[in-house]
Chains A and B, each alone.
Chain A
Amino acid sequence: MSDPFALFIAPFGEFLFMRHALAACLALALGCGPVGMLLVLRRMSLMGDALSHAVLPGAAVGFLLSGLSLYAMTIGGAVAGLLVALIAGAVSRCTTLREDASFAALYLVAIAVGVLIISMRGTSIDLIHVLFGTILAVDDPALILVAAIATLTLFTLALIYRPLIVECFDPDFLRSVGGHGGAMHSIFLVLVVLNLVAGFTALGTLMAVGMLMLPAAAAHFWGRHFWSASLIAVVIAFFSGYSGLLLSFHCNLPSGPAIILVAGCCYAFSLLFGAKGSLLSRYRSGPHLTG
């Protein structure tokens, strides 16, 4: 076990499912890094969590109707998530109820509906796969789906980068120059849902939001600008995926929690030792400067 090649590279060379899982992690990292960073900067971290719960009943319904079919679960999850996101967005823009409150209301309704449908069918179905994912069983269609979502995410972000950043920083200004802040916000929510769906095929609905939030929260302690922080988030997310897979391979752990726990460790490390605003930077200030 002391041979670094055997420890760090051989598992991926030997096993196809490990290569698949690694590729899925790379695709997930590329999409989730910038989207998660935007969630953090927009103070919508908990909304990502709410959305991931909203995805669950849709995926469960897909699971009920066609078994462990990737496409049925993905479509179900995406539809449920998008419905909740778009209705909540519309409610907060057209009424005085704030967006977080309408999100909470709608995802609770979504979960209730999902549970009701399952209980009406009267079958006790093992939803472990839906909840915890099966990253070690990522097959070609799943890989294509995750990669397609990552590609779409990056292209869309490149297209709407300017107005989206302005909408985060100074929404009133965007409105005053005739920019379409509401549309940017809706597109962004769609991206969040898509990345959650990509995450849940690999990590399960419970863990999907971890790949979105933990690397971004960690990167917040390193990057001074949005783009640099996003890049760092991508690196942290991919590192978590790689290390988590190795950990799960060598120690025989479930892969989803292993990946998220590595991301959690990255977060804890950044919290303590990050370059910007971390605990260490509070105590390592040194003598003050002249100006």
Chain B
Amino acid sequence: MPAITLHDLTLGYERHPAVHHLSGVFASGTMTAIVGPNGSGKTTLLKGITGFLRPLAGAIDRGGLKPKDIAYLPQHLEADRSFPITVLDTVLLGLWQEIGMFAGMQRTHWDRVAQALFTVGLAGFETRTVNELSGGQFQRVMFARMSLQNAPVLVLDEPFNGIDQQTTADLLEVVRRWHAEGRTILVVAHDLALVRDFFPQTLLLAREMIAWGETRQVLTAAHLDRARTMSEAWDQSAAICRQEAA
């Protein structure tokens, strides 16, 4: 399984950096929480890793993976939940890499779909349309779809925001299973207690890296204080950054 390596990576919009000179490795098979205040570049970093955003400087080495081999769950507001599509069809999308635009479903595919729905606790919901689901149920559907993608690297952006405790616990169980299968997992999270309990690795981000490593050593009071003082606003008259590669 490949690792994801960031080489002096700068990501941003219209030349203003949102993630500034970030270097490090998401080792293969690790589970990392990405933590930081709003505007600290967490979502931007995920967009870079999944190929949605091209780096302003530096590089991302995906260890031979193509961006489309990385399963990505954006913040859940971005799908059109009023669209008349069934739970079954939505979950089936996870098989896109295998069946593409034209191929039909095989028996093993159906078994895997049933298994994925069962795992997230939605067996029997197949024919419901997604506009009839609660926020938590929709997130379960998204996790079932992600399971089917069978990707070596999974990237989730704030998957537990607005999700109740029971659903969060169930979905964390799904994440634990992915981790046990040796997949590399990156999750943006805000709940520090949850991160401490569940994620072995943490990256604390405030546009620049504050700390990256074992969760216990990253989420210290000193580090969190430093992250909090980060300036969120763009400097409209910022000079060109001359910092050399570390």
Contact = CB atoms under 8 A, between A and B. Distances in A.
Contacts of B110: none
Given A172-B78, A173-B79, A225-B129, A178 B85 contact: no
A168 B89 CA distance: 14
Interface stretch (A44-52, A110-118, A132-140, A157-165): A157-165
Nearest to A229: B84
A179 interface: yes
Contacts of B129: 224-225
B52 A177 contact: no
Interface string A158-195: 01101101101110110111110000000000000000
A175 B67 CA distance: 10
A170 B84 contact: no
Interface string B84-107: 111000100100110001100000
B78 A41 contact: no
B86 A41 contact: no
Interface string B191-226: 000000000000000000000000000000000000
Interface stretch (B32-40, B68-76, B118-126, B178-186): B68-76
B50 interface: yes
Given A162-B101, A224-B129, A175 B83 contact: no
* Interface footprint category on B: 20 to 34
Given A169-B80, A170-B80, A172-B79, A179 B96 contact: yes
A111 B72 CA distance: 43
Given A177-B96, A178-B68, A172 B74 contact: yes
Interface string A217-244: 0000001111001000000000000000
Contacts of B70: 176
Nearest to A175: B52
Contacts of B93: 166, 170, 173
Contacts of B79: 169-170, 172-173
Given A170-B78, A172-B78, A224-B129, A41 B84 contact: yes
Contact of B67 (A160, A162, A178): A178
Residue from A165, A168, A172 with most neighbouring chain B CB atoms (10 Å)? A172
Given A170-B78, A176-B70, A225-B84, A163 B101 contact: yes
Nearest to A179: B96
A226 B84 contact: yes
A253 B112 CA distance: 59
A169 B78 CA distance: 9
Interface of B: 50, 52, 66-68, 70-72, 74, 78-80, 83-86, 90, 93, 96-97, 101-102, 129, 145, 149
Given A176-B68, A225-B86, 15 more contacts: A162-B101, A166-B93, A169-B79, A169-B85, A172-B74, A172-B79, A173-B145, A175-B52, A176-B52, A176-B71, A176-B72, A177-B68, A177-B149, A178-B66, A226-B84
